[in-house]
Amino acid sequence: MQFEFSSTDKEKFSLHDCFATSVELKDNRLIFKLPDGFFCSDYSNDWPNTGNAEVEFITDPMRGVSVNLFVDSDGQTIRKDFTLEQLVEKINAKEWELEFAYRYDGYEEILYKCWIWENPDRGSYECELWIGSKENVVFRWNSPGH
């Protein structure tokens, strides 16, 4: 898909409260598709405030990507590990939607605190998405209303 705009200036974008409804994974490129857009400081204070969008991460094969879900089990919260491929498969099969919450930048890695939403009857799970990346993140989007 062609987008009107593209930027690597991570300071002017936020994925907070934005939903990825499909994902593309190829050649160490991880691309989350956000049909409702994301937040860009160039527009209004609404959240999200762009047209449809995507965000691309160039992943470092040595660092990889980790997906951790936190689920209740007999009154305790346990961590369940998933592979990136499992995450991509479940999102693309419409079994899950990924809602971004908070971003933390580390040395050659990015941590997103997220929510995984299953169908309405099954609820949501807290999720950590660790992305090993040395490269810039690329934000692509269309104008609001497109």
| Segment 119-132, tens digit of pLDDT | 766 788 999 999 99
Distance CA 97, CA 22 (A): 8
Contacting residues for 107 by C-beta, under 8 A, at least 6 apart:
none
| Segment 18-29, tens digit of pLDDT | 999 999 999 899
Query: For 35-58, what is the mean pLDDT?
Result: 92
Residue 39 has pLDDT above 90, yes or no: yes
Peptide bond into 144 cis (omega under 30): no
Q: Are 39 and 113 in contact (CB under 8 A)?
A: no
Residue 105 has pLDDT above 70, yes or no: yes
| CA within 13 Å, CB half, 33 | 12
Q: How deeply is 5 buried, as exposed, middle or buried, from its count of CB atoms within 10 A (0-12, 13-18, 19+)?
A: middle
| Segment 66-80, tens digit of pLDDT | 999 998 888 899 999
* pLDDT recorded at residue 29: 94
* Cα dihedral value 134, 2, 39, 118, nearest 10: -80
Residue 134 has pLDDT above 90, yes or no: no
Average pLDDT, the chain: 92
Distance CA 135, CA 132 (A): 9
Domain ranges of the chain: 5-141
User: What is the layout of strands, in order, in the sheet containing 19-20?
Assistant: 19-20, 97-106, 109-117, 124-132, 65-73, 76-82
pTM score over 0.75: yes
